[in-house]
Structure 1
Amino acid sequence: MPELILALDVGTTSTRTLVGTADGHVLGSARCPIPSLFPAPGLVEQDAEGVWTLTRRVIALALAKSGHELADVAAIGVTTQRASIVLWDRATTHAVAPMVVWSDLRGLPRAASLAALGFQVWPQTPACKLEMALGDRDPRALAWGTLDSFIVAKLSGGAAHVTDVSNAWVSGYMDFDRFPAWHAGLMAAQNLPEGLFPKVVESWGAIGEADAGLGAKIPITAILADQQAGMFAHGWPGRGAWKATYGTSAVLMVSMGPEPTSPHPTLPVMALAAGEGEVLFCFEGMVITAGAFIDWLCQVGLFASPADLQAAAESVPTSGGAAMRPSLQGLGAPHGRFDLPALIGGLRPGVGRGELARAALEGLAWRIREIAGTASEAAIDLPESLPVDGGATANDLLMQLQADALQRPVRRHAVRDATAYGALVAAAMGARLIGRDDLGRLAHYDRTFEPRISADEAEAGYAAWAKAVLP
């Protein structure tokens, strides 16, 4: 009997596949970078067909590394970057336009006009950009969805046009009064037919079947947005569970359980997941450019690579007064200022590469502290330590700076690709190979970083950074 899980994690900068067992043992993995195009300042696009081709490639590579074949796979879990727009031909599943990536800011003007009409949107949601992505194309022959929906359509040969609640929520098209229904009033205001939209399904369970896309009939048993999938990697995301993921962006997420409330208007409420008739909600705060900010510092020639930046930062004891605001695509929670670019301040004689590198890492750590401070207003008892995951957590100095900034222990997940790992365990749950009570024992950590500075030092450091770079 097939017993393995295939987890697909199609992110913003790379597509990854894990092959593992239902008890969380990873047998093989592979990843491949995804190139982005920047046709104008603030605009970000990707080739959706190219992303699918790369995803097929990493599936084959991960299976080969695991020593297994598709016939050994019992279930597939899918997680992807959130809020990106893909349009494809309903008959052929071929993408008809470039994918508009979630961080693209072309929706700023439309967000203002929709807000004036009373719709609850923010500029990065597909609701503010789908009309521009459609252009003059006839929507009746097309399907649209976030990237998860496109990947599932490809896997199923077009048989499934679906998305889950965690992805649907961040589209801007959810009717919060009739959740989980699409907002008929917004669709009418934009003259968009209901048939253009995917069906909203639960996050795990019998979702569809991979057939033509892989050449094998394998149940698709989980769909989750990537940040929400990361919550499952750390155990069952009941009320009070929290985590931070450090990838292209950095996101702090706190589960509210079944109650859709938020402690602060700039920490948006999200649907965390839905399954077995239960819907879980969370609130989150985002550092929009985190790993992307590090990559940019390398692309402009300040550092040869992220590893070079880390080495430079480790070579000095302080940032020497230099300070950075990592906001290339706007300043996220708790500010919600998408018009504010990144900022580097505190430059003076004596500030060199090492100090600049350290300032970059400190900027990320202080931003998470800022968001955590806003989250602490919630009437939720948070665990003492913060679980973390994502590629940037391999940077020990960043994790130490984060523990210092928060004045809390930081626990690093043993699987850096924890969003993929979360899709794996969710798919295993959707295939009824494990239950929710099993998730806690499947969360593994390889190191805990304890604060090394005093609370007074942390407070003074945060205050100096905030004075230098915050509006």
Structure 2
Amino acid sequence: MTTNNVILAIDEGTSGTRAATVSADGHVSCLEYLTLHVETPRPGVVEQDANEILEKTISVCRATIAQAQQAGQHIAALALATQRATAVLWDTQTGVALVPAMVWQDTRFVDELDRLAPEWDERLLDRVGRPVGVRSLYLWAARHLRDTPQVADAWREKRLAFGTVDTWLLWHFSQRRDIVTTPTNATSSGAYVLADHRYYLEWVQELGFPFELLPALRQDADDFGRTRSDLLGIDVPILASAGDQHAGAIGLGCLDRGQAMCVHGTGSFVDLIIGPEAPSNSGLSEGALTMTARRQQGVSHFAVETFVATTGSALNWVCEKLKWFKDAREISALAATVTSSQGVTFVPALTGLRVPRMEAGARASLTGVSMATTQAEVAYAILEGIAHSVASCIEADEAVSGVRVSELVVGGGLSCSDPLLQIQADLIGIPIRRMQESDRASLRGIAYLAGSSGLLWPSLHEACKTIVTDAVFTPAGNADERAMRRTLWHARVGSELGHVDQFKREKEEALHK
């Protein structure tokens, strides 16, 4: 059996952790997966057990390594993609997490952060590409330092470490035991100065977080030391660590200015790559955040990111709670039998809107229904509502970045719906490309980042040549038709926002009576 070099790629997400090997032809194999638990002990609090994350990530790695050895593969390096902005506090003597990790979906400090927003939003948008927001890792850690005895004791005795999931796993996996993070993770944590590759210390200080606990900043493609053979059974270099969303963009071939990626999962994330220059209109849309797409060889590449919170979950809701359809496949199949919704509009704002404005009080709606409306037209409207929401994300990304989208690459579960992607292409007027094995894009992308300095590929662009296109959806219809459909959509969304504003006014008036 011949031996070939591969990279061990890890994709540690919120709902599960997986490992696989990626070879020079871009093929992902020896895949192993384990689910992770997410706890919501009270409203606004979302937590995970970091010790479980570590144990299960080690388990999938060991299983993948065993598969690779049986297949005659030679693991040449390790690469790590992780969920972003989930925070961990741990004891460096025992290596054990001291409190439950705060997951990126957590909003327990929203009221306190709201009070800081008027003073800080403008400064933060200018420097870190995002407002105060609804969560803060640094505020969370500062509260534990003050209120949790075991954390305060560890800090006093100089055995406390803090970081995001990448920091936590790298500390355990690397022989160096460095406490480090990377720009694609630090950006989401809310105190990373995009242009200068440093922390915004004034904001960190405002939150009461001690500078000494900040993880050291590295690059996404970097030398993170060698793996601990006692933990994983292999001794290889760790060459990349990045946020999972950004690894996915690389794994879908989105590297250059004007390329955009949409990953459809529970929600739909839209990232527009804008290159080494920061966006021209940062802060123009509060739902569009500036991200570091990757940093390597001393250069940061940026992206603007928007998302629709409920797209895949909206289909599940329609099928499982309302029982209108058997499953998402039936929605696609029925939608394919008609050419329009005949004026029916579905706004999938089940947990509020982010574009055209951040409005948690907005609600989903199905409008334009008549006695003549068919089930197939409702199915079409549901997919069209998702496509319209993504189109609004693209518009916001373009407005903030000053960059036009030239192509949209799609991945994730809903990307298997041909009718959805055709509707999407028709609404935005640009081609949509679906890649093969798009569900493995994060694994592939983080391996590309680790192996593109000569280990397996001479460059990222050469690595991405191994990605295979599954289908391309080209726009049908003309610009006038497209504009008419978008105008109707904006009117329906505007109507919902009008209802929210009216409700707020009436509530305010009632309070002052």
Q: Of the candidates 19, 24, 44, which is equivalent to residue 46 of structure 2? A: 44
Report the structure, 1 or 2, having the larger helix content.
2
**Aligned residues of 2:448 and 2:464 also touching (Cα < 8 A):** no
**Aligned residues of 1:166 and 1:272 also touching (Cα < 8 A):** yes
**Aligned residues of 2:262 and 2:270 also touching (Cα < 8 A):** yes
1:62 and 1:301 map into 2 onto residues whose CA distance is 40
**Aligned residues of 2:176 and 2:226 also touching (Cα < 8 A):** no
1:299 and 1:204 map into 2 onto residues whose CA distance is 42
- Deviation sequence 1:420-459 (CA, Å, 0-9, x none): 2111111112574323241341232111112244433333
* Structure 1: gaps spanning 5 or more residues: none
The residue that corresponds to 1:240 in the other structure is 258
- Deviation sequence 1:7-36 (CA, Å, 0-9, x none): 111223332322121341223323344343
TM-score, length of structure 2 as denominator length:
0.81
- The worse-fitting range, judged by mean Cα deviation, of 123-132 and 221-230 is 123-132
- The worse-fitting range, judged by mean Cα deviation, of 10-19 and 350-359 is 350-359
The residue that corresponds to 2:295 in the other structure is 274
- Deviation sequence 1:256-277 (CA, Å, 0-9, x none): 2221124452222212211112
Residue 295 of structure 2 is aligned to residue 291 of structure 1: no
Q: 1:38 to 1:358 in 2, by over 3 A?
A: farther
1:58-77 paired onto structure 2 within 5 Å: 58-63=60-65, 66=68, 68=70, 72-77=74-79
Output the amino acid matched with 1:397: P
Quote the offset at 1:202 in angstroms: 0.7
Q: Of the candidates 194, 204, 212, which is equivalent to residue 187 of structure 1? A: 204
Output the amino acid matched with 1:90: T
The residue that corresponds to 2:7 in the other structure is 5
Residue 420 of structure 2 is aligned to residue 398 of structure 1: yes
The residue that corresponds to 2:507 in the other structure is none
Quote the offset at 1:169 in angstroms: 1.3
1:341 and 1:304 map into 2 onto residues whose CA distance is 27
1:460 and 1:393 map into 2 onto residues whose CA distance is 25
Quote the offset at 1:322 in angstroms: 4.4
1:48 and 1:293 map into 2 onto residues whose CA distance is 29
**Aligned residues of 1:6 and 1:19 also touching (Cα < 8 A):** yes
1:351 and 1:42 map into 2 onto residues whose CA distance is 39
The residue that corresponds to 2:17 in the other structure is 15
Residue 137 of structure 2 is aligned to residue 126 of structure 1: yes
The residue that corresponds to 2:472 in the other structure is 448
Quote the offset at 1:308 in angstroms: 4.9
SS at match of 1:72: strand
Quote the offset at 1:467 in angstroms: 2.3
* Structure 2: gaps spanning 5 or more residues: 125-131, 498-513
**Aligned residues of 1:262 and 1:283 also touching (Cα < 8 A):** no
Output the amino acid matched with 2:246: Q
2:378 and 2:62 map into 1 onto residues whose CA distance is 41
- The worse-fitting range, judged by mean Cα deviation, of 300-309 and 386-395 is 300-309
Q: Of the candidates 240, 245, 259, which is equivalent to residue 222 of structure 1? A: 240
2:166 and 2:411 map into 1 onto residues whose CA distance is 21
1:92 and 1:315 map into 2 onto residues whose CA distance is 60
Output the amino acid matched with 1:22: A
2:138 and 2:314 map into 1 onto residues whose CA distance is 26
1:76-115 paired onto structure 2 within 5 Å: 76-115=78-117
SS at match of 1:206: coil
- Deviation sequence 1:197-231 (CA, Å, 0-9, x none): 21111111212332144232222111111221123
1:297-446 paired onto structure 2 within 5 Å: 297-298=318-319, 300=321, 302=323, 305-311=327-333, 313-314=335-336, 318-319=340-341, 321-337=343-359, 339-346=360-367, 355-377=377-399, 378-380=401-403, 382-383=405-406, 385-416=407-438, 417-429=440-452, 432-436=455-459, 437-446=461-470
Quote the offset at 1:305 in angstroms: 4.5
SS at match of 1:218: coil
- Deviation sequence 1:387-433 (CA, Å, 0-9, x none): 22223212222222211221221101112221221111111125743
Residue 227 of structure 2 is aligned to residue 201 of structure 1: no
Structure of higher CA gyration radius: 2
**Aligned residues of 1:22 and 1:434 also touching (Cα < 8 A):** yes
**Aligned residues of 1:90 and 1:158 also touching (Cα < 8 A):** no
Q: 1:101 to 1:6 in 2, by over 3 A?
A: same
The residue that corresponds to 2:129 in the other structure is none
**Aligned residues of 1:208 and 1:220 also touching (Cα < 8 A):** yes
The residue that corresponds to 1:28 in the other structure is 30
